[in-house]
Amino acid sequence: MYICCMLFKEITGQYELKQQLIQTVKDKRISHAQLFVGTEGSGNLALAIAYAQYISCQNKQDDDSCGCCKSCIKFQKLVHPDLHFAFPVNTTSKVKKDATSDHFITEWRKLIIDFPYFSEFMWYEYIGIEKQGHIDKSDAEIIQQKMNFKPFEADYKFMIMWLPERMNTTAANKLLKLIEEPPENTLFLLVSKNIDQIIKTILSRTQLIRVPPVDEESMQKMLAAKYDLSPNETQVLTRLSAGDVLKAIKIYSRHETEQDFLDNFKSMMRFAYEYKFVELLDWAEEMAQLGREQQKSFLYFSQQMIRDNFIMNLKMQNIVYATEKEKDFFLKFSQFITPQNIESIYSAVNLALSHIEHNGNQKIIFSDLAIKLTQLIRKA
């Protein structure tokens, strides 16, 4: 179990960025609106919370929060009265109307405390929503109310907004002036994985903080401490993760859902190779029954499978990290992913992913992908 103290030292790597953030506090030049941009496994969310904790700490150390003052103890539980959150949500079986972040704050705190590296899909799965979440005008109104209060205990009050790219235009318009000219001692810390999707008027009002991939040495130390791996396995996993803690853990762990994805991927490719159109359409029908976020995750998984099988075909299996079940499949299937067809197959899957993300008809999308593959998989 990961113990979430939100100390800088608990966050994997990012040494230079941590020092930069600490220095802004020492120099008393804290920007009122900052945007932490990085992959979901870079530690950007944890860094934003650790930064807020350090600013509020009553006994700051030279390189970290003290971890034991009254303020730090409340930050450890994410219940400090001056710490507020906003994040994408949607309706569920329990919250049937006008869902806001406050409806899910208990689940939010628990997930971060358990392990602060998680994906958007993992969050939706955790709270039981199948549609893409959003931050709408109801959340914006709540943010306005909270940020207009004076700090209760700390010198500052904080609004940490996770995935501002999920904020709709109405919500953004409500918050523009507040973010640009917030009340005294009010800080907005936005945490994003894709700034290209953030409404430009919001983006222009923030100070950009790029959170880089985790360095290899820090990643190897984290993996060695967490798993029983040989030095070679640790190095391979570090290379494959590309500085993304969440990706490294996902590659190693292979969640049970991904085992289902492997079975679905195998069926798709086998039916396509054998020209079994009836079976392919039945497969597409089954895939259409999944939630949209699961469909997106399957297509991401398919891209990874295509990449790994191509690498295996090139006899470079030493840089592929796979489960035993996947390795058995790769040995048989990799011969069909060649330099002649990999780009076309990957593009077909990527196009299907784009259509799913834009709320296209799932059955048509998966049927179209399956039929395309009957031609591409045999392309020499």
CATH of domain 8-212: 3.40.50.300
Task: Report which residue type is found at 50.
Answer: A
Q: Classify domain 254-376 at the CATH class level.
A: mainly alpha
CA distances from 58 to 73, 75, 80, 211 (A): 11, 12, 13, 26
| Closest listed residue to residue 283, CA positions, set 298, 268, 294 | 268
* Residues found in the chain: 380
Angstrom distance (rounded) from CA 163 to CA 86 = 9
Q: Do domains 8-212 and 254-376 have the same CATH topology?
A: no
Burial per residue of 116-148, b for 16 or more beta-carbon CB atoms within 10 angstroms, e otherwise: bbbbbbbbbbebebeebbebbbbbbeebeeebe
Nearest to 310 by CA among 287, 280, 344: 344
Please give the chain's pLDDT, 380 residues, in tens: 344 557 999 999 999 999 999 999 999 999 999 999 999 899 999 999 999 999 999 999 999 999 899 999 999 999 999 999 999 998 877 877 888 999 999 999 999 998 889 988 889 989 988 788 999 999 999 999 999 888 888 889 999 999 999 999 999 999 999 998 999 899 999 999 989 889 899 999 999 999 999 999 999 999 988 888 878 778 878 887 889 998 888 777 764 456 678 889 989 999 999 999 999 999 999 999 988 878 888 898 898 889 888 887 787 666 565 666 677 777 778 888 889 889 999 999 999 999 998 889 999 999 999 999 998 987 65
Domain ranges of the chain: 8-212, 254-376
CB atoms < 10 A from the CB of 242, how many? 14
Contact by Cβ (8 Å): 176, 210: no
CB 45 within 8 A of CB 192: no
